[in-house]
Structure 1
Amino acid sequence: MGRVRRSRTHKGIRDQYKKQRTRNYTKDLDQIHKDLKELDEQMVPNQELDPDLPGFGKYPCVACARYFISQKALDEHNRGKLHKKRIKLLKEVPYTQAEAEAAVGYSTEHSRIKVMEDVNC
């Protein structure tokens, strides 16, 4: 029976682990929701060309926060599994800070007063 995994995975080397982790970083869903909202407000068809981006930034996928070198590459990406999964995740409305605090049990002063009035009645 042979070896099941590779012999060197760099798990014990902290620098290699951090390098891989930051390289694979993508934007979070709430950041992309914010970008989509700003994009709807602006809708600028003539964007400036950025030489640092692939394809000079002409072919963006806002949902995945990626740029592509050509329209063909963008179309191929749009047919892919990762893009479809990201679109499905973006259909959900992100939680707000107020919803998170309500779930934990925190509340604002106004709601505390309202609850106390209900208890006293």
Structure 2
Amino acid sequence: MGKSKQVGNHKSGKKKHIAKTWKTKRRTKDIDQIHADMIPGNAAKLLKQDVDYDVTGSAQHYCLHCARYFVDLKTMKEHFKTKIHKKRLKKLREEPYTQAEAERAAGMGSYIPAKTIEVHTQQVEENMD
């Protein structure tokens, strides 16, 4: 008698691609999407949102640069001091990548260095309600 071929293993009934769900679990907005949110008209809408009880902190405390909601003003101020927020501000200083830049990189034009944009942490209004 020869060995029998193994058909499956003990994990056959479970999710096989769990690593993909781990990678996308904490997915945030991309840098170019945040640049679009930083346009003054869009920023005003995001910072002055209506009360939404399905969102953390009822959507009243939002970090525009990190695209995150916070429970209260204190935690948002603490977030402004963190390394994650400071790294995001540094990334946002670069101008977003455009189609024109892609064409220049492919040899369809002259090289123009990327511009830097002045980005500061948003101002927080403290309500004494």
Alignment TM-score > 0.5, same fold: yes
Report 1:72-83 matches (<5 A): 72-83=74-85
User: Which structure has more helix as a fraction of its residues?
Assistant: 1
CA-based RMSD? 1.8
Report 1:32-47 matches (<5 A): 32-37=34-39, 40-42=40-42, 43-44=44-45, 46-47=48-49
Report 1:4-15 matches (<5 A): 14-15=16-17
Q: What's 1:7 paired with? A: none
1:70 to 69, 72, 90: 72
CA separation of 1:60/1:15 partners in 2, compared to 1, >3 Å: closer, same or farther?
same
CA separation of 1:14/1:106 partners in 2, compared to 1, >3 Å: closer, same or farther?
farther
- For 1:28, give the aligned amino acid: D
Residue by residue, what CA displacement relative to the aligned partner does 1:17-57 show, whole Å, maximum 9, x if unpaired?
011011131211101001111xx125256431111110000
Say whether residues 1:22 and 2:24 are aligned partners: yes
- Percent of residue pairs bearing the same amino acid type: 44
- Take 1:64 and 1:19, find their aligned partners in 2: how far apart are those partners? 21
Q: What's 2:91 paired with? A: 89
Where does the alignment leave 5 or more consecutive residues of structure 2 unmatched? 1-14, 110-129
- Take 1:24 and 1:34, find their aligned partners in 2: how far apart are those partners? 21
TM-score by length of 1: 0.69
- For 1:89, give the aligned amino acid: K
TM-score by length of 2: 0.65
- Take 2:102 and 2:88, find their aligned partners in 1: how far apart are those partners? 23
Residue by residue, what CA displacement relative to the aligned partner does 1:47-70 show, whole Å, maximum 9, x if unpaired?
311111100000000100100000
Q: What's 1:6 paired with? A: none
